[in-house]
Amino acid sequence: MDITLESTTAAKIARALSKGRSEAGSPAMDMALTMVIIAEEDNVSEVMKAATVLQHEHPSRVLGVITGSKKRDSNLTARIRVGAGSPGESVLLRMSGQLVEHAQSVVLPLLLPDSPVVAWWPGKGPLVPAADPIGQLAQRRLTDAERTDHPVDWLKKIAAGYQPGDTDLSWTRLTLWRALLAAALDQTTGTVLSGRIQADRANPVGVLLQAWLECRLRVPVEFVHTPGPQVACASLTTTEGDIRIRRTDTMTCEFSVPGSSSRIVPIRRRDIAELLAEDLRRLDADEIYAETLAHLAKDSGRK
């Protein structure tokens, strides 16, 4: 059911939520977490849809926050959705005026008791997510470098303000590549001597992949600028021969390890809901990401 509240307050929204739940016939819902989405008017429908898909794996209360013009009068509008085909509830909060500066004052009373809070900036997020007023309420803070103008520079900048619990979705996008490379090394007995990444210089995924490999393998990893939206190729030179994973099209790549013929394996591009679902499976800090990001920042300082 949909309820819209004009000129409202957090308390009224909370009352409407519990009333909505009672009327949907299920006053108690098992929700695992609260997800706060700091959205913008031009991406709100896309991200709220992704959040609904996500709710199927992680039943949650989704709070969408859109901050409008500061010049207008302070006002809070809420659109509440309970039931209606999704296993959770969502509230879209539109704020304007002075309230924009105090968005967390609306969010705080609407957080589920005790359960974890995740903040997601689907657009351009803050450089220090943990210092953001809403970020401070959250255990996990998800940003997305790909949505910024200069993703790689931006990643290097957020590295300075990293706090446990931060993750950038470009790291999540990298998981399938990392899984294939780890599987390739499982099958190889040799020692890695060097590595090579072919990707667009501006691709944050490729840059993180390079940093991760350098960080884990402690060997030089060369970055070859190859224009294109996705990582084109990753290869590792080992004492036994070359490991190579080369993208053949948007869905597949060619996988070769020393000692057996090369094969085609799927490596698909996942949509945002799948990426979020992966991120929310673990709510503690991702230390490997932290180390990779630190390596990336340190590396750029050296150059």
**Spatial separation of the C-alpha atoms in residues 212 and 293, rounded to whole Å:** 8
Which x/- pattern over 16-35 shows residues binding another protein (rule: CB under 8 A)? ------------x-x-----
Q: Strand ranges (DSSP E) for the chain?
A: 2-5, 33-39, 60-67, 75-82, 89-96, 117-120, 140-143, 166-168, 192-199, 221-225, 233-238, 241-247, 252-256, 263-266
Q: Does 233 bind another protein (CB under 8 A)?
A: no
Q: 3-state class of 137 per DSSP?
A: helix
Nearer to another protein, 121 or 212 (CB): 212
CA-nearest of 61, 159, 163 to 112 is 61
Tokens in use for 250? 């948007």
Q: Does 294 bind another protein (CB under 8 A)?
A: no
| Count of residues that bind another protein according to CB under 8 A | 46
Nearer to another protein, 60 or 148 (CB): 60
Q: Rounded to whole angstroms, what are the CA distances from 126 to 145, 157, 202?
A: 11, 10, 20
Q: Does 182 bind another protein (CB under 8 A)?
A: yes
**What's the closest the beta carbon of residue 120 comes to another protein, in angstroms?**
17
Q: Does 55 bind another protein (CB under 8 A)?
A: yes
Stretch of 4-12, 131-139, 183-191, 294-302 lying at the interface with another protein (CB under 8 A): 183-191
**Spatial separation of the C-alpha atoms in residues 37 and 55, rounded to whole Å:** 13
Token look-up 């520079």 returns 153
The rounded Cα 184 to chain-centroid distance in angstroms is 26
Stretch of 39-47, 57-65, 106-114, 153-161 lying at the interface with another protein (CB under 8 A): 57-65
**What's the closest the beta carbon of residue 269 comes to another protein, in angstroms?**
12
**Spatial separation of the C-alpha atoms in residues 227 and 232, rounded to whole Å:** 9
Stretch of 68-76, 90-98, 152-160, 283-291 lying at the interface with another protein (CB under 8 A): 283-291
Query: Please, what is the Cα angle at 290 between 40 and 175, to 5 degrees?
Result: 75
Which x/- pattern over 99-138 shows residues binding another protein (rule: CB under 8 A)? ----------------------------------------
Q: Does 69 bind another protein (CB under 8 A)?
A: no
Site for another protein in 238-267 (CB under 8 A): 251-252, 255, 257, 259-261, 263-267
Nearer to another protein, 98 or 252 (CB): 252
Q: Rounded to whole angstroms, what are the CA distances from 256 to 179, 183, 223?
A: 14, 11, 20
Calculated CA dihedral for residues 218, 243, 233, 287, nearest 10 degrees: -40
Which x/- pattern over 136-175 shows residues binding another protein (rule: CB under 8 A)? ------------------------------------x--x
Nearer to another protein, 8 or 172 (CB): 172
CA-nearest of 212, 116, 108, 204 to 165 is 116
**Spatial separation of the C-alpha atoms in residues 121 and 141, rounded to whole Å:** 8
Q: Does 15 bind another protein (CB under 8 A)?
A: no
**What's the closest the beta carbon of residue 190 comes to another protein, in angstroms?**
12
Please provide the distance, in angstroms rounded to a whole number, between the alpha carbons at the two ends of the chain. 56
* Chain contacts with another protein (rule: CB under 8 A): 28, 30, 55-59, 87-88, 172, 175-176, 178-183, 185-187, 192, 213, 216-218, 251-252, 255, 257, 259-261, 263-268, 277-278, 281-282, 286-288
